[in-house]
Copies of this chain bind each other. A is one copy, B any other.
Amino acid sequence: MEHPVPGGLWGEKEEEEQERVLVSKHMWRPCPTARRRLRVCLEWVKQQLFHVGEDWYFLFILGVLMATISFMMDHLVSRVYAAHRWLYQEVGDIGVLKYLSWTLYPTALATFSSGFSQSITPHSAGSGIPELKTILMGVVLEDYLAIQNFGARVVGLTCTLMCGSSLFLGKVGPYVHLSAVAAAYLGKMRTSVTREYENKFKQREMLVAAQAVGVATVFGAPVSGVLFSIEVMSPHFAVRDYWRGFFAATCGAFMFRLLAVLSSEQETIVALFKVDLTIGFPFDLLETFFFVILGVLCGLVACAYLFCQRWAMVAVKRNWLTAKLLATESVLGVHPSVCLHPLTMKEYLTSLFDNHTWGGRAPNASWAAEPGGLWQEWDHPSATIFGTLAFFLLMKFWMLILATTVPLPAGYFMPIFIYGAAIGRLLGEGVALLFPRGLHPQGPLRPIIPAGYALAGAAAFSGSVTHAVSTALLVCEATGHLGHLLPTVLAVLVANAIVQKHQPSFYDGGIIVKNLPYLPPIRSRHTASYRVVVEEFMQRQVVALAKGDGFQEVLGALDASSDAEYPVVESAESPTLVGTVSRAQLVTFLQSHEHPQAPPGEKVAPAGTLGDDCAIEPVMLQFSPWTSLHQAYHLCQLLKLQRVFVTRCGDLVGAVGWAELRKGIEELANPKG
């Protein structure tokens, strides 16, 4: 054979060669020991960071994702808005065209926004915070956190925001909803990876972090994002969740500001609505008095606003015509609000927080002559700035109320914030006019800074409308100015004291109007809540099942009430509460057992009893008839329970649900006789 099979030989050789190359490659990479150690080290770090159960990476993803969306939305909106302005200018001097281009555009956008989002899901209208608040109280709202809401919300909200200031609507509420939906989706993803969790707990933790992200990525304010979401959302808070909220909100806020830097909008990370107030002498001590007055004023206006807004929402719902209009997704309400200031929300805030004193005999006229200053929008030739501000406040009052009745995916926090800033600015300019040299005419010249009042007003009005105190901090974080923190907190507290006494918050109002489950607060002046006991207001007729019950009784119970779970007692004679059984279990029981009176078929179903064939859940919490209303209320709130059974010496005697508690609390406020 002269021709050996070269393939074979070559093959062998090749393998050897390859092996040698591999070995030598392995050998000749520098420092093999060090590299092995490094690999072990990395493995350890990975194990430490990505331990099952740690969920920081989910929080991180949530924060970054929401920040990116928020920034993109802002960017898109500002571009479209610029286009709209350009269109308006290019149209020329023809009045009709000008008018049409100015009004048709937002109307079309709003109609599309409302129609599009409504057609996908009915949950996408309005602020979204009332529903989230209800969910966090333990009520199950089906589909509210489904992922299809996400798309509808994003598109709808973007369109709403593109209308610009014509609609005067914000994005905080929907954005909180958006991040809750994203969190719920991420949570589901995680659960599919690691099945070991109790989902309910984890779900809740993610939702709480999501709220914080929602607020933080809109304002770029991590700390007050967390605080505001705590205050607005739930009556109780676990410090454990606080950390999560902080982490996610910081990631979100950082990303949000980072994107602004990367897109060359800003040089470095600074506050979103940066103001430039003199911080050497922010305010005179005597001005505290005016800040308190501002608080009172904001409180009163907030009361009026909340009352009118709730009234309008109910009226629109009741009225046949408007209900019809809403159903056909018309956006007539938008039209009248189109013809006011042509500023964006950000321009509004920037101008209202402007460092200069507009009114008064401005001694430093140099800045006033500068063209292009935003504040000049407020200085109408035929009216002083006081007139413009007052007109603005008057018009926006009813426009804002009208806007809340339109089923648009939009937030109402931002407009309220701006409205409050305008109230503060008006008062501040008034004070500056009265005391042009400051409150100490003898001392050095220390003019009043009206922007400080605008800050305090924004915080006080938005805080009192939402029953939150942390807006004081939000103002500081969003503007990067801390000098006015103390008077701002004072104004917020005063305004809150007034509103909390007389009106439910904006979000609670939404819950009431939408007929969602709602527990009114117990005021601390209702000391009777410690004396009224559960026995006086509990529901005495509870549909209960006995351990020995069969098909007939179960069927009867399912017909008699629509509760989610039924109490199970020992027997009809000795009604000792043994546990509860869920409705789903009972339905399965009915399906697996045959009706005793049915004609006997071929397969004989077992004639078992409830006690044998159903999983009876033990009861964890039960009230006695002498539990006080105060205690029952707080336990229900704390443990997020909808219904608790009342036992006397172990025997079931009644039940207390939210409806009973609400009745009890309302009787406290308006005692009979």
Interface residues of A (CB under 8 A from B): 51-56, 194, 196-198, 201, 222-223, 227, 230-231, 234-240, 242-243, 246-247, 250, 253-254, 257-258, 261, 267-271, 279, 281-285, 288, 469-470, 472-473, 476-477, 480-483, 485-486, 489-490, 493, 496-497, 521, 523-527, 530-531, 576-579, 618-624, 626-628, 630, 634-635, 638-639, 647-650
**What B residues does A247 contact at CB under 8 A?**
493
**What B residues does A524 contact at CB under 8 A?**
53-55
**What B residues does A620 contact at CB under 8 A?**
621-624, 627, 635
CA–CA, A198 and B531, complex, Å: 9
Q: Is the CB of A261 within 8 A of B235?
A: no
User: Which residue of chain B has the shortest Cβ distance to A627 in the bound complex?
Assistant: B620
User: Which residue of chain B has the shortest Cβ distance to A49 in the bound complex?
Assistant: B497
Q: Is the CB of A486 within 8 A of B250?
A: yes
Q: Is the CB of A269 within 8 A of B242?
A: no
Copies assembled? 2
**What B residues does A650 contact at CB under 8 A?**
576-578, 650
Within 8 Å by CB of A469, from B236, B242, B257, B480, lies B242
Q: Is the CB of A480 within 8 A of B480?
A: no
Within 8 Å by CB of A243, from B246, B261, B496, lies B496
**What B residues does A618 contact at CB under 8 A?**
622, 624, 626, 647-649
What is the predominant secondary structure among interface residues of chain A facing chain B? mixed
Rounded to whole Å, the gap between the CB of A137 and the closest CB of chain B is 12
Q: Is the CB of A271 within 8 A of B496?
A: no
User: Which residue of chain B has the shortest Cβ distance to A526 in the bound complex?
Assistant: B53
Q: Is the CB of A236 within 8 A of B237?
A: yes
Rounded to whole Å, the gap between the CB of A234 and the closest CB of chain B is 7
- On whether A267 and B281 interact (CB within 8 A), knowing A198-B530, A524-B54, the answer reads yes
Which 3 pairs from chain A and chain B are nearest by CB? A618-B624, A53-B525, A51-B525
CA–CA, A197 and B528, complex, Å: 9
User: Which residue of chain B has the shortest Cβ distance to A619 in the bound complex?
Assistant: B622
CA–CA, A523 and B525, complex, Å: 40
CA–CA, A250 and B472, complex, Å: 12
Q: Is the CB of A268 within 8 A of B283?
A: yes
Q: Is the CB of B638 within 8 A of A250?
A: no
CA–CA, A489 and B285, complex, Å: 31
- On whether A227 and B227 interact (CB within 8 A), knowing A247-B493, A268-B281, A490-B254, the answer reads yes
User: Which residue of chain B has the shortest Cβ distance to A521 in the bound complex?
Assistant: B240
- On whether A486 and B525 interact (CB within 8 A), knowing A240-B235, A622-B620, the answer reads no
Known: A240-B521, A578-B649. 15 other contacts (CB 8 A): A54-B525, A223-B489, A230-B242, A235-B240, A236-B638, A243-B469, A246-B489, A246-B493, A258-B285, A269-B285, A271-B482, A577-B650, A579-B649, A618-B624, A635-B639
Q: Is the CB of B257 within 8 A of A53?
A: no
User: Which residue of chain B has the shortest Cβ distance to A254 in the bound complex?
Assistant: B486
CA–CA, A650 and B648, complex, Å: 13
